Amino acid sequence: MDVLADAVPYTGQTAEHRRVVVDVSGRFVVGVRVGVARYRCETFGDVGPLVVRESGRARIGADGRFAFRAGEEAQRVTVRGVLRRHARRVAGTVRLVGTIATGQKCASATLRFTARR
Protein backbone atom coordinates (compact mmCIF):
# COMPACT_ATOMS: atom_id res chain seq x y z
CA MET A 1 0.00 0.00 0.00
CA ASP A 2 1.39 3.39 -1.02
CA VAL A 3 0.91 5.86 1.85
CA LEU A 4 1.74 8.82 -0.40
CA ALA A 5 -1.18 7.94 -2.68
CA ASP A 6 -3.63 9.08 0.03
CA ALA A 7 -1.52 12.00 1.23
CA VAL A 8 -2.63 15.63 1.08
CA PRO A 9 0.13 17.86 -0.34
CA TYR A 10 0.87 21.24 1.24
CA THR A 11 2.87 23.25 -1.31
CA GLY A 12 4.90 26.43 -0.83
CA GLN A 13 8.34 28.01 -0.88
CA THR A 14 11.44 28.16 1.26
CA ALA A 15 13.28 31.35 2.16
CA GLU A 16 15.47 30.64 -0.91
CA HIS A 17 12.32 30.74 -3.09
CA ARG A 18 12.57 27.02 -3.78
CA ARG A 19 9.54 24.71 -3.89
CA VAL A 20 8.63 22.66 -0.82
CA VAL A 21 5.89 20.03 -0.55
CA VAL A 22 4.88 18.46 2.76
CA ASP A 23 2.68 15.37 2.34
CA VAL A 24 0.22 14.72 5.19
CA SER A 25 -1.83 11.57 5.72
CA GLY A 26 -4.13 11.63 8.74
CA ARG A 27 -2.05 12.51 11.83
CA PHE A 28 1.32 11.95 10.11
CA VAL A 29 3.73 13.75 7.81
CA VAL A 30 4.59 11.00 5.31
CA GLY A 31 6.79 12.76 2.79
CA VAL A 32 8.78 15.86 1.96
CA ARG A 33 10.08 17.24 -1.33
CA VAL A 34 12.27 20.32 -1.18
CA GLY A 35 14.68 22.26 -3.33
CA VAL A 36 17.82 23.71 -1.76
CA ALA A 37 19.72 26.42 -3.64
CA ARG A 38 22.85 26.48 -1.45
CA TYR A 39 24.37 23.25 -0.14
CA ARG A 40 27.80 24.11 1.23
CA CYS A 41 30.56 21.52 1.67
CA GLU A 42 33.61 21.92 3.94
CA THR A 43 36.34 22.54 1.35
CA PHE A 44 34.64 21.80 -1.96
CA GLY A 45 32.26 24.74 -1.69
CA ASP A 46 28.69 25.06 -2.87
CA VAL A 47 27.29 22.00 -4.69
CA GLY A 48 23.69 23.24 -4.93
CA PRO A 49 21.07 23.55 -6.19
CA LEU A 50 19.54 20.15 -5.55
CA VAL A 51 16.15 18.61 -4.90
CA VAL A 52 15.51 16.04 -2.17
CA ARG A 53 12.51 13.73 -1.93
CA GLU A 54 12.08 11.52 1.13
CA SER A 55 9.25 9.52 2.61
CA GLY A 56 8.81 8.51 6.23
CA ARG A 57 6.35 8.83 9.07
CA ALA A 58 6.38 11.63 11.63
CA ARG A 59 3.49 11.97 14.08
CA ILE A 60 1.69 15.31 14.20
CA GLY A 61 1.00 16.23 17.82
CA ALA A 62 -2.30 17.52 19.19
CA ASP A 63 -0.83 21.05 18.97
CA GLY A 64 0.01 20.52 15.27
CA ARG A 65 3.78 20.24 15.77
CA PHE A 66 5.91 17.64 14.03
CA ALA A 67 9.57 16.76 13.42
CA PHE A 68 10.23 14.79 10.23
CA ARG A 69 13.69 13.35 9.65
CA ALA A 70 14.46 10.99 6.78
CA GLY A 71 17.16 9.87 4.40
CA GLU A 72 20.49 8.16 4.58
CA GLU A 73 23.42 9.61 6.50
CA ALA A 74 24.89 10.82 3.19
CA GLN A 75 21.82 13.03 2.63
CA ARG A 76 19.35 13.56 5.46
CA VAL A 77 16.54 16.10 5.54
CA THR A 78 15.04 17.46 8.76
CA VAL A 79 11.75 19.35 8.71
CA ARG A 80 10.24 20.85 11.86
CA GLY A 81 6.94 22.59 11.66
CA VAL A 82 3.39 23.27 12.73
CA LEU A 83 0.34 22.16 10.78
CA ARG A 84 -2.72 24.39 11.12
CA ARG A 85 -5.49 22.35 9.50
CA HIS A 86 -8.18 25.05 9.93
CA ALA A 87 -5.92 27.54 8.14
CA ARG A 88 -4.82 24.88 5.60
CA ARG A 89 -1.21 25.88 6.26
CA VAL A 90 2.13 24.40 7.34
CA ALA A 91 5.03 26.59 8.50
CA GLY A 92 8.44 25.63 9.79
CA THR A 93 12.07 25.03 8.94
CA VAL A 94 13.97 22.62 6.72
CA ARG A 95 17.65 21.66 6.74
CA LEU A 96 19.66 19.24 4.65
CA VAL A 97 22.92 17.67 5.94
CA GLY A 98 25.14 14.94 4.57
CA THR A 99 28.33 14.22 2.68
CA ILE A 100 29.55 14.10 -0.89
CA ALA A 101 31.47 11.22 -2.50
CA THR A 102 34.78 12.36 -0.97
CA GLY A 103 33.30 12.20 2.53
CA GLN A 104 33.24 15.96 3.03
CA LYS A 105 30.48 17.18 5.30
CA CYS A 106 27.85 19.37 3.67
CA ALA A 107 24.86 21.32 4.98
CA SER A 108 22.28 23.81 3.89
CA ALA A 109 21.25 26.71 6.04
CA THR A 110 18.17 26.19 8.21
CA LEU A 111 15.50 27.58 5.89
CA ARG A 112 12.08 28.85 6.88
CA PHE A 113 9.12 27.83 4.74
CA THR A 114 5.37 28.15 4.44
CA ALA A 115 3.08 25.86 2.47
CA ARG A 116 -0.66 25.76 1.81
CA ARG A 117 -3.17 23.15 0.83
Q: Which of 4 and 73 is assigned the larger pLDDT?
A: 73
What confidence score (pLDDT) does residue 94 get? 96
Q: Which residues pair with 49 in a beta bridge?
A: none
Shortest CA distance to 68 belongs to which of 113, 5, 16?
113
Residue 47 and residue 30: Cα distance in Å, rounded?
Answer: 27
Residue 105 and residue 91: Cα distance in Å, rounded?
Answer: 27
% pLDDT > 70, the chain: 96
What are the CA-CA distances from residue 117 to residues 11, 48, 53, 74, 84 (Å)? 6, 27, 19, 31, 10
pLDDT tens profile 38-66: 888 887 777 778 899 999 999 999 999 99
Q: What number is the average pLDDT over the span 15-44?
A: 92
Statement: 3-116 belongs to CATH 1.10.760: no
* Residue 2 in this model has a pLDDT that exceeds 60: no
Q: What number is the average pLDDT over the span 57-78?
A: 94
Q: What number is the average pLDDT over the span 70-94?
A: 92
